[in-house]
Structure 1
Amino acid sequence: MMKKIFIIILLILPFLVGCKKVIGPTTVSVVDSVRHYYPIIQGEKLKMIFEIKNTGNQPLVINDIQPSSLSLTNTTDNDVIIMPGMAKPVEFVYDSSMNLGYVHEVIRIFGNLATKGVLELSFDTNVVSPTQDPVDYEIFYTGELKEAEIHGLKKAVDGNSETKGYYVDNHDRNMRKINSTDIR
């Protein structure tokens, strides 16, 4: 009788225990993971989109996204899954109202990334104080004086529509594959 009960338990046991697949580490690539934004006026918001592409063979499971300060907010869900070969944009908004001067921010993304499990994205900018002088480039920039557009000041401040609004160092210009030597 005990032998029959033992055999029945052995036959039922695989159905009671759930199947769980272990997801291994994967690699990713990020276009312009280190960015240098042009100066902004205190109080302005800077919107950034980083596209993360899964270049490995395993799904990328992002468990947490941690900005380095309260000035930086993540507008994307913290729990993200990116299948192999796919890409997903991750969006952040930097609020410059709490800062003045040089600002360097780091965004840490945690998941099943090769070796250390963390991906670092960073950017910097200079936050300048708004001027009290009524005749400044801000007036030209906002369009209150139409002759600014005639003289090309608006284009000089905004740049061409083809530009990204930031620049990168020469070694970061192209898409880099993030692997164990690139992760800090």
Structure 2
Amino acid sequence: MKSPIKKLAQTCKAITCFMVFIAIGGCQGSGENAFLELTTMEIEDPVRHYYPILQGLEQNIVIKVTNTGEHPLKLFKVLPSCGCTIAEFTTHAIAPGNDGFIELKYNSTKNIGEVGVYTTIVANTKEHSHTTYFDIHVVPDALYTKDYEELYHIEQEKKGGLQEMVEGETNERGYIVDSTEVRKYM
């Protein structure tokens, strides 16, 4: 019969071997990304300056990415530096010599003045990440500058104003009777 110390030593060895196996396996990657060779890419016009737009308008920006290497190009992440910009991009591998597209949608609702947005593109390239930049001047309406709440209500009205149709306007919703309900709003 084995002593408890020998059993503990064997268990520790087994756990150590298992952890080393997991660590080595995790370093090699997993899934389709594990076998992607490094390649190169070219971004068409990585620095752009757009004409001024009125506050509240949306600017659509399409960035063409060309695979200039010998292996398939895979875009992993596209990360704009501002929450006012949403990125959609090609999720499949781009064959050598072919193009992929990144679409950025910039919403100018919350900004006035000069706005600059950097976008980081993470891919299976030798440089690992690339950066693009665009700037745009957001101009307020000359007659009246709406604040964020007014612009939000205008946007909600465009969507149909469903909440107001069901619950009524905020100043028509009545009052709270139960004093425990007051704590929820404080």
| TM-score, structure 2 normalization | 0.57
Q: 1:33 & 1:20 partners in 2: Cα distance? A: 26
Larger % of strand: which?
Answer: 1
Aligned: 1:74 with 2:87: yes
Q: 2:114 & 2:92 partners in 1: Cα distance? A: 31
CA contact (8 A) 2:78 2:89 kept: no
Aligned: 1:99 with 2:100: no
How much does 1:19 deviate?
11
Deviations 1:149-178 (A, max 9, x none): xxxxxxxxxxxxxxxxxxxxxxxxxxxxxx
Cross-structure match for 1:22: 35
Q: 1:53 & 1:30 partners in 2: Cα distance? A: 6
Q: Which blocks of at least 5 consecutive residues in structure 2 are unaligned?
A: 1-30, 145-186
Larger % of helix: which?
Answer: 2
CA contact (8 A) 1:63 1:80 kept: no
Aligned: 1:32 with 2:59: no
CA contact (8 A) 2:40 2:125 kept: yes
Deviations 1:112-148 (A, max 9, x none): 1113x00111100111111117xxxxxxxxxxxxxxx
Count of aligned positions: 114
Identity among equivalent positions (%) equals 31
Aligned: 1:44 with 2:57: yes
Q: 1:98 & 1:80 partners in 2: Cα distance? A: 33
Cross-structure match for 1:110: 122
How much does 1:75 deviate?
3.1
- Aligned residue type for 1:112: N
Q: Which blocks of at least 5 consecutive residues in structure 1 are unaligned?
A: 1-17, 134-184
Aligned: 1:84 with 2:101: no
> Which of 128, 135, 139 is matched with 1:124 structurally?
135
Distance 1:88 1:19, change over 3 A: closer
Q: Which has the larger radius of gyration?
A: 2
How much does 1:80 deviate?
3.6
